[in-house]
Amino acid sequence: MSYAGMTDIDAAAFNRIVDLRSDTVTRPGEGMRRAMAEAEVGDDVYGEDQTVNALEEKVAALLGKEAGLFVASGTQSNLTALLSHCQRGEEYIAGETYHVFAEEAGGASALGGIAAHPLPIDAHGAITPDQVESAIRPDDFHYPVTRLVCLENTMYGHVQPIADQQAIASVARRHGLSVHLDGARLMNAAVALGQPPAAVAACADSVSLCLSKGLGAPVGSVLSGTKDFIARARRIRKMLGGGMRQAGVLAAADLYALENHIDRLADDHANAKRLADGLARCKGLEIEATETNMVFIAPREEDLEPLRAHLAARGIIIAAQRPSTRLVTHLDITAEDIERTIEAFGAFYKG
């Protein structure tokens, strides 16, 4: 597109911001805002917020678990889970880039005295049953006690096969370990696999589901597990300062997201594939597609900042991660936004 001589309609499209940094940047639409405004609320610390209670019950049922606990964020959900599973001086196993180890400010060790045993991941973000088997500590007082295995699905946009995660869970249980699943984007995995969410979550004793990523709510995650586990987790949530009062205004947004935004994740996946296919035509730009809503690009080092500036001038926002940058599609990204992005990349690489 030549931007000179644009029509009013073209100019309006050009002025629209296309934010591809993350699926956390979505904003509540009219229906979600209405649900929030009309939410029935009470004091959740007393267990009296019926909207929060409904959300916790709905998520637990979706994931095939007994109970749920509404928390402020995925990071708080994962930390609550680790502190509920592990005691001080014990250890959890996780992939070296899994969010619970790499991107949560070391909370488990800083606040819980819990050691981490990170494992190398493969190109699709996976660890293997053999790796987990080898990482489990022997019963020796020199070592921390291995207590937990942490999985993640999706991982960097890649779906982790259900059978593979079940195989890891089988190793864990054979050694008396629990399994926690960081399912921040679990619904993306379920949609991509064509499986119910409970099937994706079946490998785990506890599951963290984030509602503020692809599902489009502004705030909130739900931690699910057995009733006894959630009772412990509720105490930990209080310890972490996570007891909220009339939280139904937030839970209402999460319920709206679950009722309206799961199936449409397929649109994000289709947009990501369209984006990957279009960017693959740019010579000098390395592309990695995933099965869900992420595309990774690896511009030459000298191109990254000029590319970001070129796109920003056209109303397209990307991050500047190295060595690769992710582009994330979400409910605020349309098919037209994808075409505009492909065209802007093409103009840069032709120049």
- Cα–Cα nearest to 45, from 247, 233, 308: 247
For the record, the structure tokens of 305 come out as 């900042």
Give per-residue pLDDT as tens, 290-331. Answer: 999 999 999 999 999 999 999 999 999 999 888 899 999 999
pLDDT for the residue numbered 15: 72
Strands 67-71 and 221-225: antiparallel
Predicted local confidence at residue 14, as pLDDT? 56
148 SS3 class? strand
Helix/strand/coil for 30: helix
Instruction: Report the distance separating Cα 227 and Cα 85, nearest Å.
Output: 14
Q: Give the tens place of pLDDT for each residue, 133-168.
A: 999 999 999 999 999 999 999 999 999 999 999 999
Alpha-carbon gap, residue 253 to 212, rounded angstroms: 9
How far is Cα 268 from Cα 21, in angstroms, rounded to an integer? 14
- Two structure tokens written together for 149: 């295995």
**Burial of residue 349, with CB atoms counted within 10 A of its CB: 0-12 exposed, 13-18 middle, 19 or more buried:** middle
Structural domains present in the chain: 8-20+264-350 (3.90.1150.10), 30-260 (3.40.640.10)
Express each pLDDT in 243-289 by its tens digit: 999 999 999 999 999 999 999 999 999 999 999 999 999 998 999 99
With cut-offs at 50, 70 and 90, classify the pLDDT of residue 351: low
